[in-house]
A and B are shown apart, each in its own frame.
Chain A
Amino acid sequence: MTTSEYDSLRPPEPAGRGRGNGRRRRRTGPGAGGADGSREMPMVPEAEFTSYYGRPVVKPAPWGPEIGLLAAGGQLTGQDTLRRNCRLAAISAVGLGAVALVHDLGRPERFLNMLRTFKLTSPMSVGSWILSAFSAGAGVAAAAEVDRMTGERLPLGPLRRVLRTVEGPAGLEAAAFAPLLAVYTAVLLGDTSTPTWNHAHEELPFVFASSASLASAGLAMVTTPVAETAPARKLAVLGVIGDLLATRVMHRRMDPVAAEPLHTGRPGQMLRLSEALAVAGGIGTLLGGRRRSIAVASGLALVAASALTRFGIFEAGIASAKDPRYTIEPQKRRLAARRAAGVTDDSITTAG
């Protein structure tokens, strides 16, 4: 039956609906069927939260997860083997981090461009300088260690005495910058509009500092005989306690919706595994840290826990930026809370 001459221009009706087919089909979802007039159709779709065509309100940060690798080992001044291994581990870790950062920037010379200026308002600029300062000290200290390991066979000539002299101060300089290197990524993440990172900006430095402590201690426990790792074991236990505390406080103080990506999906799994590994590593260190095999296993667990913490928080942030809900719901709550407290002059929307 044709009621209008234009009906012939309509696309064909989907087959298999309604009469004449002899078979009943299951409805595939709400709103399916009904286009043939067999039942009432909802004219207005179910109201639910959405943004402009579901587009994300903030852009996901375009960084690769490599930035999490900037977890550098703390420079320790202790026994010979411990010192050697930590210095080598520090330069390896920071080298990996620098390579990852350069890879992330796309072209190596961009890193040099970042050193053309120093801006306190840009945590990335500050971080580049921290990374450079740490690398310089750690590099000199590691060079001295390599020289000693190879039986002073590096072709240094008169520079060897210079190296020996500056080795100690360089190690201390690196040690001064190591904690800054560990926490600057927290500021870097916090100083974005990515909801999960931004809402965690007060607690993230503490999480990252504890995480870096337990990772560096774990690495020392893996590489160094137990006779010299007593300080590393203590640092590991302190790091685990700090990590658990800081993470708990972070979860409790964050907006529940902004914290959701930390509990769900892959980031949630990673962070749960990270916590389990940190606890296991901490208990292993405490009870069996004097046995080489247990120390190595605990150390590996701690390093893995730290890496998982960084990658978990990183991925949670990316996930939170992709869904506009994480941007909008906490902000609406924040605005409503201010209004309830009597602050009414700072809304971005005005009635004229």
Chain B
Amino acid sequence: MSTGHAHFSPLARFFHWLMAPLVVAMLFIGVGMVATVSQARLTLIAIHRPLGIAILLLVALRFLWRLTHRAPPLPADIPAWQRFAALASHWVLYALLFAMPLIGWAMLSAGGYPVHLFTGFDLPPIVAQDPHTYALLRSAHTWLAMLLFVTFLAHLAAAMFHGLIRRDGVFSSMARGKRS
């Protein structure tokens, strides 16, 4: 196995592996809570909102770190289309991790809902109450969640592709630190 390539920093890996399960959980919670009539709905909604805001804060910190620290370069022999797909999908992921919580917050604001985070604490609205805005944001929240899930699946497939097939160190650069 290669040990010569660069690895993501411990902080970058911490952000990644903390946020990955949270984001995947959010997607499952989201589609589950709007379909079920069981009491799981209330529990899932109670988790969905504070977890969304937590992800917004985490992605903001992570993005600051990313802007000030380069990611390890991809191996030189990666075909151009895969290089492009890697770059584009990472920017899509960052954009959606910012957009989804903000759209959720704005959507609830436009619908006049309290943006309840936890006992005794509600966030202020960030847009005015308006049915058109609500309808637009509500649909955007669903469709961008679908896009986020598909992008996550592509990311998962690509990670496994690097780890199982190419074995080029890209997977281990995020999976673990450098061994010396």
Query: Do A and B originate from a single complex?
Result: no
